[in-house]
Amino acid sequence: MNIKNNILETIGNTPLIRLNKITKTFPCPVLAKVDYFNPGNSVKDRMAVKMIEVAEKEGKLKPGGTIIECTSGNTGMGLALVACVKGYKCIFTTTDKQSKEKVDILKAVGAEVIVCPTNVEPEDPRSYYSVAKRLASEIPNSFHCNQYDNLANRLAHYETTGPEIWEQTDGKLTHLVCTAGTGGTITGAAMFLKEKNPRIQVWAIDVYGSLLTKYFRTGETDMQEVHPYISEGFGEDFVPENYDMSVIDHFEQVTDKEGAVMARRLAKEEGLFCGYSAGSCMQGLLQLKTRLKKDDLVVCIFHDHGSRYVAKIYNDQWMIERGFLDVKTFRDVVSARGTKRLITVEPTQTVAEAVELMKKYDIEQIPVMNGNGPVGAISEGGLFQKIFENPEIKNAKVEEVIEPSFPVVAFDTPVEKLSHLINKENGAVLSKDEAGNYHIVTKYDVIQSLGK
Ligand SMILES: Cc1ncc(COP(=O)(O)O)c(C=O)c1O
C-alpha cells in the first residue's frame, strides 16, 4: 500500500516541467519548478511546516496553541493545513490589497483572518505586521511565526526545494530564477545549490515599487524607491532577515503590467495556470535572455496557482481597467464594460413597454429583435420627435415607430471601425459572439473603454 498519513506528507517533490513555447527564442532549455502542486497550491507549504516543527522543537508552540502570522494568503494556507493536522488555532493578518478569494480560502480551512490597510508604514499600529505582533503579545500560548525574520523559512527551502532541483536536473542547472519576497525561497534554495556548485547563477525577480533591488545594488534601504504596486506575493518595503544577499547574483525588476500579461501567456501557451509572481518570474527571465548561452540550463520557481487570481489577472475587465490589456476590438470593449444581458423589444410590443425598459435600465436606445435577429431600433431621440406629432403614440406598436437597425459587425471588428459606424444618426453597433448572443456597444462604451 502507498498511503499518506495526512495531507502534510504530500508537500514537496513537485514536478520540474519544461517550458516549450514562451521560451522558443531562448538559446537553452528553461524548466519550471511548479510548486502549485503542493496541497495548499503554493511553495509556501514547505516553510509553513518547517516553521511549526522548529517552534515545537524549541518549545515556543505547545499543544492547543495559537499560530499567528501576517500573510498574503499562501503562507496562511500552509499554516492552516499544519494547524488542521496538528490541532492548533490560526489567526492571520493580511492587507486589503490581497484578493478576496485568498481570504475566503483561508477561512475555509478554519483560520480567522484580520484584514488591515496596505498603504501604511510597517511600524504603524494598523499595519498587518504590527497587528500580528500585538495579538501575539496578548494571546496566551500563541506563536508569531514571522516568516520574514524566522530562518526556518529559508531552512525549509535549503532542505527541500534546493535538493529537489539539484536531483531533478542531475546537478546540471546553471541558473536559478525566483521571485523574492521574504527571501526564504530564493535564499534557502540558492544556499543549497551554491554549496553543490558555486558557479550556479541565482537571479532574483523583484517588482518596481519594492526596495529590494536598490538594497541589493547599493546596500541602502531607500524609502524613496518604495511605492504601491499591484503585483502580489513578492517585493518588500524592508529587508527581511531571511536574505543572504551573498548567494544572489542579480536582481531584476518587472512592471505590474508585464508580470500580469506574462502570467496569462503561461496559462494560454504552456497550460501552466499560475499566480501573478510566476508571470513576473518568467518576464524577468525574458528580460535577461541575452545573458544565457546554449549550454545553460535554467530553473524558474513558480510559486502558486492561478485560481487565487481569477478575479484579477485572469479577468479581462480588471486587466483593462488598469491599462494592462489594450482595447482593440468590439470583443475587448464588451470585456472592458463587463458582459451585460442585451435589452431588446419585439416589434409587436407597445411603445409604452419600450419606454418602461429604457427608464428601468437607463438606456437611450433599444434594438428591436424578432426571432431571427435585429430588425430595427427605437431611440429616445426618435420617440421624442414622434410624441410631439402624436401624443397617443405610447399605445402604438413598436413596429409603427421603428427606426433603422444598428449596424451588425463581426465580434473582432477593430475599435477604429466602430467609431466610424457610431455617429449622430446611429448611436450603437451590434455584434454576435461565438455562442450566438448579441451584444451592443454604444458611443459611451467606446469612450469609456478607450479612456481606461
Ligand atoms: C505567490 C508568491 N510568490 C512569491 C513569493 C515570494 O517568496 P518568498 O517569500 O519565499 O521570497 C511568495 C511569498 O509569499 C508568494 O506567495
Q: What is the pLDDT of residues 139-169, one digit of tens each?
A: 999 999 999 999 999 999 999 999 999 999 9
C-beta 234 within 6 A of ligand 1: yes
Residue with CA nearest ligand 1 atom 13: 233
359 vs 179: CA distance, rounded Å: 51
CB-CB neighbours of 197 under 10 Å: 12
For ligand 1, mutation pick of 145, 177, 182, 282 (most atoms within 8 Å of CB): 182
Taking a C-beta distance cutoff of 8 angstroms, is the pair 414, 429 a contact? no
C-beta 187 within 6 A of ligand 1: no
C-beta 69 within 6 A of ligand 1: no
100 vs 126: CA distance, rounded Å: 19
113: left (phi over 0), alpha (psi -120 to 50) or beta: beta
C-beta 142 within 6 A of ligand 1: no
281 vs 272: CA distance, rounded Å: 13
What dihedral angle (degrees, nearest 10) is formed by the CA atoms of 403, 404, 409, 415? -60
For the chain, give me the number of helices (H) and strands (E)? 17, 15
Report residue 345's pLDDT band, with 50, 70 and 90 as the boundaries: very high
312 vs 316: CA distance, rounded Å: 8
Nearest alpha carbon to residue 149 among 239, 241, 52: 241
Report residue 72's pLDDT band, with 50, 70 and 90 as the boundaries: low
Ligand 1 centroid to residue 177 C-alpha, Å: 13
Residue 95 has a pLDDT of 87
Mean pLDDT of 267-271: 98
Q: Which helix (H) or strand (E) holds 376?
A: strand 373-379
C-beta 74 within 6 A of ligand 1: yes
Average pLDDT, the chain: 93
Residue 391 bridge partners (DSSP): none
Report residue 270's pLDDT band, with 50, 70 and 90 as the boundaries: very high
The answer to which of 21-35, 214-228, 276-290 has the lowest mean pLDDT is 214-228
- In terms of Cβ atoms closer than 10 Å to its own Cβ (0-12, 13-18, 19+), residue 395 is exposed
Choice between 447 and 298, residue whose per-residue pLDDT is larger: 298
Residue 451 has a pLDDT of 63
pLDDT of 293 strictly over 90:
yes
Q: Active-site residue 44, yes or no? A: yes
C-beta 182 within 6 A of ligand 1: yes
Ligand 1 centroid to residue 280 C-alpha, Å: 12
The answer to which of 55-59, 101-105, 317-321 has the lowest mean pLDDT is 101-105
pLDDT of 294 strictly over 60:
yes
pLDDT of 442 strictly over 60:
yes
Cα 397 off chain centre by: 50
424 vs 367: CA distance, rounded Å: 16
Ligand 1 centroid to residue 277 C-alpha, Å: 8
The grid coordinates listed for 301 are 520557481
Express as a percent the part of the chain with pLDDT over 70: 99
The C-alpha cell 494556507 sits at 77
The grid coordinates listed for 27 are 538559446
Give the C-alpha distances (Å, rounded to integers) separating 160 from 15, 80, 200, 285, 376.
13, 20, 18, 23, 66
pLDDT in tens, 372-392: 899 999 988 888 878 778 878
For ligand 1, mutation pick of 33, 38, 43 (most atoms within 8 Å of CB): 43
pLDDT of 452 strictly over 60:
no
What dihedral angle (degrees, nearest 10) is formed by the CA atoms of 169, 170, 172, 175? 40
Kindly give the number of the ligand 1 atom that is closest to the alpha carbon of 154: 10
Mean pLDDT of 73-91: 96
C-beta 185 within 6 A of ligand 1: yes
Residue 372 has a pLDDT of 83
Contacts of 261 (CB under 8 A, 6+ apart): 279, 283, 324, 325
pLDDT in tens, 184-209: 999 999 999 999 999 999 999 999 99
Q: Which of 4, 21, 33, 44 is catalytic?
A: 44
Kindly give the number of the ligand 1 atom that is closest to the alpha carbon of 74: 16
For ligand 1, mutation pick of 38, 44, 105, 213 (most atoms within 8 Å of CB): 44
Choice between 6 and 316, residue whose per-residue pLDDT is larger: 6
pTM: 0.84
Residue 103 has a pLDDT of 87
Kindly give the number of the ligand 1 atom that is closest to the alpha carbon of 276: 1
16 vs 326: CA distance, rounded Å: 33
CA atoms within 13 A on the CB side of 372: 2
The answer to which of 185-189, 246-250, 318-322 has the lowest mean pLDDT is 318-322
Helix (H, G, I), strand (E, B) or coil at 346: coil
Cα 442 off chain centre by: 30
